[in-house]
Amino acid sequence: MSDKIISKSEIQEYIKALAEKFTVVAPMPRRDAPAEFVEINSGDEPILDGSQPMMPPKDYLLPRYETLLKVDRGPEGIKIESTIPEDKPRVILGVWLPDAQAIQVLDRVFLDKNFVDPYYAARRRNTLIAAVIPREPRWSWFCASVDDVEEWRENVDAIFYDLGDRYFVEPKSEKGQALVNASIMTEASNEDKVEKDKVWQRFLEQDILPFARKALYEQLEWDNPIWAEIAQKCLGCGICSYMCPSCSCFDIRDDMHDICIERYRCRDTCQFEDFTLMGAGHNPRSTQLPRSRQRLLHKFKYQHEQFGVVGCTGCGRCVELCPVNVDIRDILSRTCANDTTEPVA
C-alpha cells in the first residue's frame, strides 16, 4: 500500500468523488458548539484537520436518539414497522485517532459474537474510518498513557496526517484502498514521509501520566478513598459520558402518540441517580460514590477483562468539560502511580 499526498485545495474535489461511491460523514462546524459528525454533501466544508473541538463520532454510529420500532394500529390491524437503518457503504472522515479507537470499543459492545445490534451494525458494517492526526495534539489528550497508540493506527482504514497545506494519506486496510483517489492524490515523497513522522512524533509527545499502563486494570480498586473525594464534588450530570466517544449506555423507552407506539433508545449514564433504579424502588447505587466508581472501573477494569481493550482512549473531552473539574488524568495518576519503578509500557 503506497502512501499518498493530497493538497488541501483538492479536498472539495476529493469529497465529491468519494460521495459517488460512499455516504460521506464528517464533522461539520456549528455555531457556539463543537463540530458534529453528519452526512455531508459535496460543497459542504467539514473540519477535516482535527483542530477543532468536536462531538464524538459515536453520535453518528449510535445516535443520541433512535427509533427502534413503530407499532401502528390501522384499519387492517396492528402493523409493526422496523426502523433499522440502511446498510450502505459509508466513510467517516476527520476522526481523531482516540475516537477511532473508541469505535473499536463500541464494536466490541455492539458487534459482540453473542449478540449483534442490528441498528449499530447497519451503520457500522460497511463503514470506513479515516483518522486524522492534527498538527498539534489537544492539551487534554492522554492517549499514549492508556494504551498502545501505535497499535491504534493499525485499527483504522486510513490515516490523514495534517502537513499544513496538504495531507499525508496512509491507507491502512485493504478496504481503505478505496479512500485513495489516484487522479487527485500524488505519490508521497521522502520529504513528505519525514514530515509525517514529525507530526506523529508530536502526537506521541502528549503528557504521559506517571504510571504503568497495566496498573490501570490491575491497580484501580473498588475501595479506594478517592471515590468518596470525587463523589463529594461530582454533581451527577451526564457530560463526561455523553461526550465520551466510547461510553455506550442507553435507555429504551416507549412513547405513545395517539394510536401509534414508538420504541426508541436514547443516551443514559451511570452518573444519573435513576440509572440503576429498580421498578420496585430499590437503587443499588443510591449515592454518587458508587456511581463515580462505576464509570472508572467499567472503563479500565471491567471492559479490559471483558474485551481486552481499555474503555478510555484519552480524548480528553471529560477533562475539558467537567463542570467541577473532576480530571480523570488526576484520578488515574493518583490511584495507579504506586508502582513507579516500572517504565511506562
The window from 18-26, 124-132, 195-203, 263-271 that contacts other proteins (CB under 8 A) reads 263-271
CB of 211 to other proteins, least distance (A): 16
Among 33, 78, 116, 204, binds other proteins (CB under 8 A): 33
Among 24, 97, 149, 243, binds other proteins (CB under 8 A): 243
Q: How far apart are CA 175 and CA 236, in angstroms?
A: 42
For 65, the enclosing helix (H) or strand (E) is: strand 65-74
Among 26, 215, 319, 332, binds other proteins (CB under 8 A): 319
The DSSP secondary-structure symbol of 339 reads -
Nearer to other proteins, 218 or 229 (CB): 229
For the segment 154-183, give every residue that binds other proteins (CB under 8 A).
none
How, if at all, do strands 166-171 and 186-187 pair?
Answer: unpaired
CB of 315 to other proteins, least distance (A): 13
CB of 13 to other proteins, least distance (A): 30
The answer to whether 232 contacts other proteins (rule: CB under 8 A) is yes
Q: How far apart are CA 211 and CA 340, in angstroms?
A: 6
Among 108, 267, 293, 299, binds other proteins (CB under 8 A): 267
Among 251, 259, 338, 342, binds other proteins (CB under 8 A): 251
The answer to whether 208 contacts other proteins (rule: CB under 8 A) is no
Three-state SS string over 298-333 comes to HHHHHHHHHHCCCCCCCCCHHHHHCCCCCCHHHHHH
Among 205, 233, 259, 306, binds other proteins (CB under 8 A): 233
At 25, which amino acid appears? Answer: V
CB of 112 to other proteins, least distance (A): 25
In Å, what is the CA distance from 250 to each residue of 55, 63, 187, 274? 17, 10, 45, 13
Q: How far apart are CA 149 and CA 128, in angstroms?
A: 19
198 CA to centre of own chain: 25
For the segment 125-154, give every residue that binds other proteins (CB under 8 A).
139-140
In 181-330 the beta strands, taken as DSSP E runs, fall at 186-187, 250-257, 260-267
The answer to whether 272 contacts other proteins (rule: CB under 8 A) is yes
CB 271 within 8 A of CB 205: no
Q: Is the dihedral of CA 148, 153, 157, 161 positive or negative?
A: positive
Nearer to other proteins, 67 or 177 (CB): 67
C-alpha cell of 16? 465529491
CB of 32 to other proteins, least distance (A): 3
Q: How many residues bind other proteins (CB under 8 A)?
A: 40
Nearer to other proteins, 55 or 130 (CB): 55
C-alpha cell of 316? 480528553
Nearer to other proteins, 33 or 204 (CB): 33
Nearer to other proteins, 186 or 325 (CB): 325
Nearer to other proteins, 150 or 273 (CB): 273
Among 102, 143, 156, 326, binds other proteins (CB under 8 A): 326
Q: How far apart are CA 312 and CA 245, in angstroms?
A: 8
Q: Compute the half-sphere exposure of residue 161: CA atoms within 13 Å on the CB side of its CA.
A: 23
Map residues 275-314 to x or -, x wherever contact with other proteins holds by CB under 8 A: ----------------------------------------
In 123-278 the beta strands, taken as DSSP E runs, fall at 127-133, 158-162, 166-171, 186-187, 250-257, 260-267
| List of residues contacting other proteins (CB under 8 A) | 30-34, 55, 64-65, 139-140, 232-233, 235-239, 242-243, 251, 253, 255, 264, 266-269, 272-274, 319-321, 323-327, 329-330
